Structure 1
Amino acid sequence: MKKKNNKILLFSILWILVIFSSCGSKLEDPPITRSEKPKQSNNSNEPKEQNQLGTGKKVMNIPISRAMVAKMIALTFNDLGDIMAFDREIQFEDTDPNQWYDPYINTVVIQGFMQGTDVGFAPLDPLTMEQANLLLQRIASDVSTSFVSFSAKNRKQPISYSQWVEAYLNCLEKGRKDQSLQEAYGLTKKNIIVIGTPANTSSLPSWSMGTDQGIYGFTGLAMDSYMDQKIQVLLKGNEILAFLGVVEENPTITHAYIQNTEQEQLTIFIGGIQRTYACEESILPITGNIADLTLQQGKVVQVKGYQEEVRDRILQVGGNHIELAQHKKLPVWEDMKVYSTVGETPTWKGKSALLVGTQLARFILKEGKICAAIIDQTPT
């Protein structure tokens, strides 16, 4: 009887130890073994984009890599300058400082968002459904919900880019409480028209994209296929975290500076870069003017130029108006552009370049509102 009681006592102690050891275990990424890679579709005809229900936007229907996920998370919770300044602590064999994703992986590992697997970090492998759910639970640890539904059958399958982005934004929404994405994480959604990438604009540095709103970084993303389309992106500063969808396939570039025209071609300057488009000679605008250009499959098919202008001493530059000495307060378009033609080539400016007390710029009017300012004189 005594021996039996001793066996029961020993079994109870071992069971308690097992429970405590499992409770204290670290939450790791589910390992990817060489014999168990994420399953990918064998259907070569599977579309890479699909229309998102209810929005009319085209979204990416391709797997998202662990490297891209690392970039999104790192930039959500850190500024780019801080990411680049972190000491490199990772020692994975499948990444090095020459890879675009290395600083982002270093950041998420240091901060405990992601860990490696039994084959390194596997940066270019697709994120699986199971890994995605674990990551989102780490980010929103105080929210008792599952952001990605999966089963034992599909837990190792890749999560698509659009599915991950939707779940990730939902996760951030849950964690921000009463704050906006901008207030909580410094993130903004923005619609931009892709004007140029290094593929068609040699003046652009690698991973830099010229748009109608300025130049943005798109490290790790494939954006060339969205040339001349209006897209929605998620931004942290001037770096694109995520592509959210195509807003318009044949957009209108507003308030572009016409740099040159010749024989069914026009060259515009906008967003810090120049771009030449095919355009019927009968609708070519006047060089040096401001115009709206409607695109269709990369060709200008409609032009509306604006020639009404005023030059006056600036009294005040506000958010939605500019006050001039002789013209009082003139309203401005939300997407007003500021250019400088001082020098050999045009340059892209902000409203801060419009100096109070000077009359160095001419203001272009569209329907009674300022749509552009062209600084064409230097202070004396």
Structure 2
Amino acid sequence: MRSKKMVYWAFLIPAVVIILIIIIVKLDTADNYISRAMASKAMALALTDKDGCLSSQKENGSHLSARMQEDWSAKYIDYLLEQGLLEEGTVTEDDYASSALTYGEAAFAAEQVSKGLSQALGVSRKKYNKPMPKEAWWLFYPSFLKAADKEQEVKEVDLLLYGTPDNVKEAAPWTAYTSEGIMGFEGLSMDSHIDREIRVLARNGEMIHLTEEVSEDVVYRNVWLAAGERDKMNLYIGTIIREFPLAKEVEEQESGVLADISLSRGKIKKLSLKTDTIEGKVLAVRDDSIEIEGYGEVRLDKDFKVYKTYGVVKEQKKKDILVGYNLEKFVVADKKICAALLVKSFSAKNIRVLIMDKGFSSIFHDQVILKADTPLTVEYGDSAERIEAGSELVIKKDDERLSKGRITVEPEDRQKGIKVLSVSRQQGTPEYFGCFEISRESKGLLLLNEVDVEDYLTRVVPSEMPSSYEVEALKAQAVCARTYAYRQIQANAYSQYGAHVDDSTNYQVYNNIESNERTDLAVKETDGEMVFYGDTPAETYYFSTSCGYSTDGTIWGADIKDVPYLKGISLTEGGGTDDLTTNEAFVPFIQGQGTKNYDSGYSMYRWSTTVTNKKLAEKIDGIGTIQALFVTERGTGGIAKTVKVVGSDGEKVLKGQTQIRNTLGAPELVYKKNDGSTMTDWSSLPSAFIAVDETARDEEKGTRTFTIWGGGYGHGVGMSQNGAQQMAKEGKTYKDILSFFYSGIEVRELTE
């Protein structure tokens, strides 16, 4: 009996092995061919990017069956059909995408891209209907790219793959988290390559082909590790959190630690903790270094990271390191900063302002001259000197003291200001509270005033709104200015120079006009208050005068859902909106007076001017003699969004209020205001709430004169300052005013 069993197994085992070999060979053979889905994606992304395929499908509709449209490859196949790279009528079966691409189909597509390209495939009649192996396809693909002239668009990229939907629960389908950022990988199998270094072909963040796995050993440098739950530790990398078995050295760290973590085949091989830190006020954030008070300029590690380590831990950006504040600890190793750890929440207490030169034309100065009625302490490097009260401190570009870095200047009596004799403003010689920093750049000297935000506002409010205005209007202005300043500090636009803003109309005009008791009172009585939409400080744009309507936040390209509080409204009791987006509705409105509203009593409520085609030709060339102007698109409130300029040899379209105002305006134009007075010497139109018509013509001289009817002064978004003044005159409070101009907001102090 036993011998019979042995004979049975002796025959059975070889038979099973043979069957398995046959199955494996068949599966391997089937898997060896490039699918139409993957080939379509590769061809489509050789010609355009993923967004281009989606846009084409949206514009032209789909050619595929309902079931096929559900497949990830549908947009690529549809794009190729639109471009004629797939033969009409060939995409009929629901399993088309998953089936193998034939040599003939590849040859047809190749010929559409470039005549004769199919010869690179060497397709014989016998092979024409044969499936094309993956290897053959990817050997041919570089030739396809070259013929499509897209070799620079599709790039080979080496990266570390650390997340897919397989190990990141919140990940969207086909989303890969990599050292090169978040990427797509539709159609590819990537899960087995997590924690590997791989090489891929990609275009605009979408992987096309996995060329090879470069290494199964990876090092994640400068990552944040912290103890998690159930003997696990969290690794914060990019925008995701990975879990690994808790290491003892990490468990010993109270709140977390920076480390280099080495992995082999996804398992931790080595942990190198980095625990040395420095801290101090950040003076400047540059491309490859950070200047820190007490340490000078410290270079950044090539894998420099920023982590928010309080509250919800997450990786941040370098732009989130605020100059002028001490909110971080900096982890250092080998004399370089490996990471900035944000350890405190931000509360806008001080602001750093670049003081521009005499004519607000540049942030750079040839020399700086300071003077005060109190002694000044001047520090540079390890040295310090005292400038007596009433004496001048003169700093020129070649000043030896600047060789030791930035010079700081502080008044002995902080209640007294420092005069800047080397610049002039509308008030004359300006005086500033706080301290100054002077640094040298290749283009000249930078003069930076660091000042308490509330002191800053006492110099902003009178420079932005007449101090004679009603106190409630001034208070509304103060709250707007404070909110705007808060957002600008966070925006950190001048971080490479160590500043947040400058003192010109690029941000808020600062210290152009002296402060006084009324504006100081407005700032004091609203101390700390800002405009919030939900928990976020709002974009509190403001402007001088409306035409009776404001416009919404989309004029600068914003999505209205991102700034829902910036709605275009009628400046009448209760607000409301009317449709003025057509010429038929807006032209009679702007040429007349409209309904009485909060701005209708001000001189800039209506204005008009004339301009000739000769004058316009100084800024608009290449279209011959200018013959006509048309407003072709209007936004909320009737603001002009596009203006067509028609010439004898062509046309040009002016887009956006900035281009429209700058192109149609000129200093020579004379404007007649609503009160009958005139003004001139304005380089741009007062606003883009305009209507245009030809009102005179001289055929002999070839001159055409266009009349521009306009209303308001400024961009028209947010709060009208004159509208706020009128509302205050009628008994409205500053909170009433702000709630009128910014929909759905709350006025309150910042809560940490």
Call closer, same or farther: CA 1:64–1:364 in 2, change over 3 Å: farther
Runs of 5+ unmatched residues, structure 1: 1-40, 49-60
| 1:190 counterpart = 2:160 | no
Q: Choose the corresponding residue for 2:34, options 38, 46, 64.
A: 64
| 1:292 counterpart = 2:265 | no
Show the counterpart of 1:9.
none
| 1:44 counterpart = 2:16 | no
| 1:108 counterpart = 2:108 | no
Show the counterpart of 1:20.
none
| d(CA) in 2 for partners of 1:124, 1:316 | 55
Given that residues 332 and 370 in structure 1 are in contact (C-alpha distance below 8 angstroms), is that contact kept between their aligned partners in structure 2? yes
Show the counterpart of 1:37.
none
| d(CA) in 2 for partners of 1:371, 1:146 | 53
Show the counterpart of 2:341.
374
Q: Which secondary structure state, in structure 2, belongs to the residue aligned with residue 70 of structure 1?
A: helix
1:232-278 Cα shifts (integer Å, max 9, x gaps): 22333332232221111121222211032578643201021111123
Q: Aligned partner of 1:69: which letter? A: A
Further displaced range: 241-250 or 317-326: 317-326
TM-score (norm 1): 0.71
Given that residues 298 and 337 in structure 2 are in contact (C-alpha distance below 8 angstroms), is that contact kept between their aligned partners in structure 1? yes
| d(CA) in 1 for partners of 2:26, 2:324 | 60
1:17-71 Cα shifts (integer Å, max 9, x gaps): xxxxxxxxxxxxxxxxxxxxxxxx97625897xxxxxxxxxxxx84322122222
| d(CA) in 2 for partners of 1:337, 1:46 | 49
Aligned counterparts, 1:153-168, within 5 A = 153-168=126-141
Show the counterpart of 2:734.
none
Deviation for aligned residue 1:302: 0.8
Which structure has the larger Rg?
2
Show the counterpart of 2:47.
77
Aligned counterparts, 1:1-380, within 5 A = 44-45=24-25, 62-86=32-56, 87-93=59-65, 95-116=67-88, 118=90, 120=92, 122-139=96-113, 141=114, 146-173=119-146, 175-176=148-149, 181=151, 184-185=152-153, 187-260=154-227, 265-278=232-245, 281=248, 286=253, 288-344=256-312, 346-380=313-347
| d(CA) in 2 for partners of 1:336, 1:46 | 49
Deviation for aligned residue 1:117: 5.0
Deviation for aligned residue 1:366: 3.2
Deviation for aligned residue 1:327: 3.4
Deviation for aligned residue 1:153: 4.1
Structure number with the bigger relative contact order (C-alpha 8 A, sep ≥ 6) is: 1
Deviation for aligned residue 1:318: 3.9
Q: Which secondary structure state, in structure 1, belongs to the residue aligned with residue 104 of structure 2?
A: helix
Q: Which secondary structure state, in structure 2, belongs to the residue aligned with residue 251 of structure 1?
A: strand
| d(CA) in 2 for partners of 1:228, 1:208 | 15
Runs of 5+ unmatched residues, structure 2: 1-20, 348-752
Q: Which secondary structure state, in structure 2, belongs to the residue aligned with residue 44 of structure 1?
A: helix
Given that residues 267 and 277 in structure 1 are in contact (C-alpha distance below 8 angstroms), is that contact kept between their aligned partners in structure 2? yes
Given that residues 279 and 329 in structure 2 are in contact (C-alpha distance below 8 angstroms), is that contact kept between their aligned partners in structure 1? yes
Given that residues 250 and 256 in structure 2 are in contact (C-alpha distance below 8 angstroms), is that contact kept between their aligned partners in structure 1? no
Q: Aligned partner of 2:189: which letter? A: A
| d(CA) in 1 for partners of 2:252, 2:160 | 20
| d(CA) in 2 for partners of 1:227, 1:135 | 34
1:178-207 Cα shifts (integer Å, max 9, x gaps): xx94xx42x443322222222222111222
Given that residues 341 and 376 in structure 1 are in contact (C-alpha distance below 8 angstroms), is that contact kept between their aligned partners in structure 2? yes
Q: Which secondary structure state, in structure 1, belongs to the residue aligned with residue 39 of structure 2?
A: helix
Q: Aligned partner of 2:192: which letter? A: S
Given that residues 165 and 171 in structure 2 are in contact (C-alpha distance below 8 angstroms), is that contact kept between their aligned partners in structure 1? yes
Call closer, same or farther: CA 1:89–1:289 in 2, change over 3 Å: same
Call closer, same or farther: CA 1:302–1:155 in 2, change over 3 Å: farther
| d(CA) in 1 for partners of 2:250, 2:318 | 30
Deviation for aligned residue 1:131: 2.7
Given that residues 226 and 251 in structure 2 are in contact (C-alpha distance below 8 angstroms), is that contact kept between their aligned partners in structure 1? no
Q: Which secondary structure state, in structure 2, belongs to the residue aligned with residue 225 of structure 1?
A: helix
| d(CA) in 2 for partners of 1:220, 1:84 | 16
Given that residues 283 and 303 in structure 1 are in contact (C-alpha distance below 8 angstroms), is that contact kept between their aligned partners in structure 2? no
Q: Aligned partner of 1:111: which letter? A: Q
Q: Aligned partner of 2:145: which letter? A: L
Given that residues 223 and 235 in structure 2 are in contact (C-alpha distance below 8 angstroms), is that contact kept between their aligned partners in structure 1? yes
Show the counterpart of 1:6.
none
TM-score (norm 2): 0.38
Given that residues 129 and 150 in structure 1 are in contact (C-alpha distance below 8 angstroms), is that contact kept between their aligned partners in structure 2? yes
Show the counterpart of 2:741.
none
Show the counterpart of 1:24.
none
Call closer, same or farther: CA 1:305–1:109 in 2, change over 3 Å: same
RMSD of Structure 2 on Structure 1 (CA): 3.3
Given that residues 307 and 314 in structure 2 are in contact (C-alpha distance below 8 angstroms), is that contact kept between their aligned partners in structure 1? yes
Given that residues 271 and 348 in structure 1 are in contact (C-alpha distance below 8 angstroms), is that contact kept between their aligned partners in structure 2? yes
Given that residues 335 and 371 in structure 1 are in contact (C-alpha distance below 8 angstroms), is that contact kept between their aligned partners in structure 2? yes
Q: Aligned partner of 1:77: which letter? A: L
Q: Aligned partner of 2:328: which letter? A: A
Identity %: 25
Deviation for aligned residue 1:154: 3.8
Deviation for aligned residue 1:303: 0.8
